[in-house]
Structure 1
Amino acid sequence: MSDELSAIRLTDPRALRAYAHPTRMALVGLLRLHGPLTATRAAELLGTESVASCSFHLRQLAKYGLVEEAGGGRGREKPWRATAAFTSWDASPADPEQAAATEALQRAVLDGYLARATDWLLHRGADGAEWREAAGFGDTAVLVTAAELAELDARVEELLRPYVERLTAPGPRPEGARTVQLVRLALPTDRPATDRPAGEAP
């Protein structure tokens, strides 16, 4: 996004594997969205984990620089904060151990997207008609080179930037605004030529 929105890049396979835990990803997301939280408050917001579990996972995240103590409090009542607004990693590392850890993390991220989409479908009836119409998912096939796809992704990020910056900007928010997770999947629908059986058309 912008220079003002910090990011942490994971390269250590141990850090990649640590972050791949769904509870840890959820905790980092909560800290980024709500600011500093205690393990007790984090457990309340998650609704699926105990205070002891959240405290343990926060300490594990701190080992790899993803969260840090925000100061004040004691024990499980000390607040934690995220160290960056975004997490990134190399999508195609050369190191085999890092590549395996990256694949596990990407699978965990994708599983999380599916779980949140399924939860939305189950509870969308409680939303008003305006939100049911505005929210949803779909797909569009495009014919692009790898460079064009990277450029398209950058343009989408630029379009999203002012809405992302609202999350941490001081002052009032637009009336009726809600936090929405916009998921982007850019997935080739054909296999590379080297993966196709001989004689098979692209």
Structure 2
Amino acid sequence: MTEQSHSIELTDPRALRAYAHPTRMTLVGLLRKSGPFTATKAAELTGESVASCSYHLRILAKYGLVEQAPGGKGREKPWRATARFTEWPDRSEDAAVAQAADALSAAVTEHYFQRVLKALENRHALPEEWREAEQFGDTLLHLTPEELTGLGQRIDELLRPYEEREAEPALRPEGARPVGILRIAFVDRESDSDAGEA
């Protein structure tokens, strides 16, 4: 068993396709936040059957995303995530890798927005200070590739001081809650007057 690393990079098309399954993404996310836990606990958290969770955990283990954790009794073995983050190529000369990576990116985007929709559905139950603090909106900027890269780096720098709190609960100030921050920046072809030139 290894300690959880910062990130795992998937480059095998089979691994990319395996991780693109919504239940598997959910299981890895739950293990990162609340693990280790058994397939039985996974079933309680996801609403899937124990057999289904066990199967998906074994597939994830095959590609190094999860592993069995110490402890447990009999067949009730706990699982844990092997890394805090999953990375995959933005582009590849290998067509199979490129297709699988694009499919995973699409699946992750859909997963993100399902989480956002669920948050919006339950927003009424939040205290007023949290409803006012939450952010929903968009901005259209005209940037060069270098400027967009630099903007991403600056956002990383802004978030970095808060990242330690994930692994170290003692660093969380009173009243802190888990907050999902999505970063999606894309060329907006609908607003792009130069789209015909690309």
- How far, CA to CA, are the matches of 2:38 and 2:7 in structure 1? 22
- How far, CA to CA, are the matches of 2:5 and 2:183 in structure 1? 19
2:31 corresponds to: 31
**1:124-177 deviation line (CA, Å, top 9, x unaligned):** 111111111111311112222112211211221121122221011152632221
- How far, CA to CA, are the matches of 1:121 and 1:170 in structure 2? 26
Change (3 A) 1:75 1:39: farther
> Is 1:178 equivalent to 2:165 in the alignment?
no
1:141 corresponds to: 140
- How far, CA to CA, are the matches of 2:194 and 2:17 in structure 1? 30
1:61 corresponds to: 60
2:129 corresponds to: 130
TM (norm. structure 2) is: 0.89
TM (norm. structure 1) is: 0.88
Q: Which runs of 5+ in 1 are unaligned?
A: none
Indicate if the aligned counterparts of 1:38 and 1:76 stay in contact, CA closer than 8 A: no
- How far, CA to CA, are the matches of 2:172 and 2:50 in structure 1? 31
1:20 corresponds to: 20
1:106 corresponds to: 105
Q: Which runs of 5+ in 2 are unaligned?
A: none
State the SS of the aligned residue for 1:171: helix
> Is 1:82 equivalent to 2:112 in the alignment?
no
- How far, CA to CA, are the matches of 2:194 and 2:25 in structure 1? 35
Letter aligned with residue 71 of structure 2:
G
Indicate if the aligned counterparts of 1:24 and 1:61 stay in contact, CA closer than 8 A: yes
2:45 corresponds to: 45
Indicate if the aligned counterparts of 1:67 and 1:82 stay in contact, CA closer than 8 A: yes
- How far, CA to CA, are the matches of 2:74 and 2:193 in structure 1? 56
State the SS of the aligned residue for 1:85: strand
- How far, CA to CA, are the matches of 2:31 and 2:74 in structure 1? 18
Letter aligned with residue 105 of structure 2:
Q
Letter aligned with residue 135 of structure 2:
G
Change (3 A) 1:8 1:15: same
State the SS of the aligned residue for 1:160: helix
2:159 corresponds to: 160
1:120 corresponds to: 119
Change (3 A) 1:153 1:5: farther
Q: CA deviation at 1:75?
A: 5.5
- How far, CA to CA, are the matches of 1:150 and 1:160 in structure 2? 16
Q: CA deviation at 1:5?
A: 6.2
Backbone CA RMSD of aligned residues: 2.2
Identity %: 57
